[in-house]
Structure 1
C-alpha cells in the first residue's frame, strides 16, 4: 500500500494499522512530520528512496501495547520516538 501518512499520524492512529502486514519505515531524522512508507517482508534495514533515508520504525501493535495508557498529546510522539531509539 502507498498510504501517505506522517509519523504523528502513525502514532495517533496506531490501532487502525495493527492488521497491516507491511513494516513501517520513517523518514530520517525522525520527528512528528516524518513521512512513513510501508515495506513488505521482514527486513528492517534502512531504505533509500528519492534521496531520503527511511529507517524501520515500531510496528503499530507495539505502539498500542506500550503506549495505550499514555495521554494523547504532542509529547506522545516524542516519547514513542525516544522509545524506538533506545528501548525497542
Structure 2
C-alpha cells in the first residue's frame, strides 16, 4: 500500500503499539506497512523481498495528522517532512 493511502486510514489505527515502516525514498507513493506489535528496534524490516525503514509510531502519526489540513498528498508530505527532520 502507498503511504498516502495508508495515512487516509489513520482513524483505524487503534493499537498504540504499532509502527509505520516505509520503503525509501520516502514519499506519498512509497510502499508502506504497519507492523504490530511494534518491534523493539528501529532496524529495517523486510516483507516479501521489500526493505522497509522505520518511519513513525502510529500514535505519533495519528496525532500529527489530526492537526493537519489539506489534501491527502499535502498531509502525507508534511508527515514525511516531520519523520525526516523532527522525529
Same fold, TM-score > 0.5, yes or no: yes
Report the CA distance shift for 1:12/1:28 in structure 2 as closer, same or farther (over 3 A). same
Given the alignment, which residue of 10, 15, 33 partners 1:19? 15
Corresponding residue for residue 33 of structure 1: 29
- Mind listing any 5+ residue stretches in structure 1 that lack a counterpart? none
**What root-mean-square deviation, in Å, do the aligned CA atoms of Structure 1 and Structure 2 show?**
2.0
TM-score (norm 1): 0.75
Corresponding residue for residue 75 of structure 1: 74
Question: Which consecutive aligned stretches of 4+ in structure 1 deviate over 4 angstroms post-superposition?
Answer: none
TM-score (norm 2): 0.76
Between the two proteins, the alignment pairs up a number of residues equal to: 83
* SS in structure 1 at match of 2:41: coil
Greater mean deviation of Cα atoms: 68-77 or 14-23:
14-23
- Mind listing any 5+ residue stretches in structure 2 that lack a counterpart? none
| Deviation for aligned residue 1:24 | 2.0
* SS in structure 2 at match of 1:15: helix
| Deviation for aligned residue 1:72 | 4.1
CA contact (8 A) 1:15 1:61 kept: no
| Deviation for aligned residue 1:48 | 4.6
User: Structure 1, residues 25-81: CA drift from partner, whole Å, max 9, x if none?
Assistant: 10111111211234442211123552x431101122111212312114121111100
